[in-house]
Amino acid sequence: RDSSKVVSGFLKYVAPEQFHPEHADISSVVGEVAKEMRKGLDKDVLIEEEHSQEMPQTQIDVGVFRSVIEELIMNSTQHLNGDGRILLRTGLASDEEVKKVGVPLNGQYVAVEVSDNGPGIPDDVRSRIFDLGFSTRPMGTGLGLSLVRRDIEQHRGRIAEIGEAGADFLILLPVSSRAL
């Protein structure tokens, strides 16, 4: 392992940067990340997008949220082994999505989904993927998804892996200022 990467990752986990939320268009932020990430991907990995037209703005720290989406895309590409499809979807959360993630039904949420057509996450691993230090990769630090969850919770949101075929991460963020 690259020890400097591990140390800097743990420092980021225990002492996160200042959080600066602002009203933003989630679909635009996700689209910008997708555009940038496409440049560095193997030509056989496709990033597709589906964005709802009628999306309310929500409060996010744009830099932190961009890092979350980048990490989820990178995780997908590592498990696709250079060939596959990643779907980025944004829209208002359905009642079914709200139930899957386990948030209260008495609010409106923006949904951001990052899914792929890779091998998926085995059931015996699924419950541990957000644990600090847990990794299935020999050179993994176990920081990526734990930082993702921490960053989403800082946004008063929740994230869950809901995949049945391939990995499928669903993020819900409240539209209102009400905390989850």
Question: What digits encode the pLDDT tens for the residues 152-179?
Answer: 999 999 999 999 889 999 999 998 554 4
- Return the amino acid letter for 113: E
- Return the amino acid letter for 6: V
Measure the CA angle with vertex 48, ends 100 and 172; round to 5°.
25
User: How far is residue 100 from each of residues 86, 94, 149, measured CA to CA in Å?
Assistant: 21, 10, 16
pTM of the model: 0.87
96 phi and psi angles, rounded to 5 deg: -65, -45
Q: What is the pLDDT of residues 121-131, one digit of tens each?
A: 998 899 999 99
Give the whole-angstrom CA distance, residue 41 versus residue 34: 10
| pLDDT for the residue 2 | 56
| pLDDT for the residue 7 | 52
DSSP codes joined into one string, 56-113: --EEE-HHHHHHHHHHHHHHHHHHHTT-EEEEEEEEEPPHHHHHHHT--SSS-EEEEE
| pLDDT for the residue 42 | 78
| pLDDT for the residue 3 | 57
Give the whole-angstrom CA distance, residue 93 versus residue 97: 6
Within the chain, which residues score under 70 in pLDDT?
1-17, 139, 176-180
Instruction: State whether residue 47 is helix, strand or coil.
Output: strand
